[in-house]
Amino acid sequence: AKGILNMTDDTQFISTYDFRFGDQDDEYFELNMSGNAYLFVEDAGDQMRQNNGEFHFDISENAIMEVARIRARARTEGVTNTVTVRDNGQIICFDDYFRFAGGGSDVVVNVLDNGIVDADGYIGFGEDNDFSATATINMSGQLMKGDGWRMIMDGSASGFTTVNLSSGVIDTGYIESDTDNWVVNICGDGVWIVDGDRV
């Protein structure tokens, strides 16, 4: 199954139900938002959730995705899921985490050109023990903010996380990991603020 949602020019998508995409390995979902488009999903439990398949988000040109949480498990091997926030686009998780938990799918998150990711909870990559893929975060936008940042949170996971921070600000209360399967590259004008209780 293939699903594509294109939102432009002040269009709005408002839902009081969970927004689920990718329950089977062969499912594909694409979300493109631009031109002040607005997507809101009320807190109905699972929120934006993906278990399998492949997905791609592109949030740009002042578009805003506002959901309680994003929960991607990414269990389909051999695909790369992407989230790109650019050109003043925003992803706001107003009640909890922005996380990519496990499985064999690679994930690339690009926050570019004044893009913003703002999570009321933590930002996480590779939390489950079956995380065997790679997570790459390329940050040159305006802001990534959460109350914490989790990298590879199960010691038996074999995946790897890379954070490339070249400009903009990552602001988290803490950074934590159960493995050493990660690398953080900070260069240029990049700033990472850690103002919580642990690194």
pLDDT at 28: 96
Token pair recorded at residue 127? 């939390």
pLDDT of res. 46: 66
Average pLDDT score over the chain: 94
pLDDT digits (tens, 9 = 90+) for 121-154: 999 999 889 999 999 999 999 999 999 999 999 9
End-to-end CA separation in angstroms for the chain: 42
How many residues are listed for the chain in this entry?
199
Q: Cα angle vertex 155, ends 108, 179, to 5°?
A: 65
pLDDT at 22: 85
What is the predicted pLDDT for the residue at 136? 98
Q: Is 42:69 a contact under the CB 8 Å cutoff? A: no
Q: Over 90: is that where the pLDDT of 18 sits?
A: no
Give the mean pLDDT of 8-28. 91
Number of Cβ atoms within 10 Å of the Cβ of 17? 11
User: What pLDDT score was predicted for residue 190?
Assistant: 96
**The pLDDT of residue 194:** 95
- For residue 164, the model assigns a pLDDT of 98
Confidence band, pLDDT 50/70/90 cuts, at residue 43:
confident
Provide the whole-model pTM: 0.95
Residues 141, 88: Cα–Cα separation, whole Å: 9
pLDDT (0 to 100) of residue 48: 85
Pair of tokens at residue 134: 């790679």
What is the per-residue pLDDT across 51-108, written as a single tens digit (0 to 9) for each? 999 999 999 999 999 999 999 988 999 999 999 999 999 999 999 999 998 889 999 9
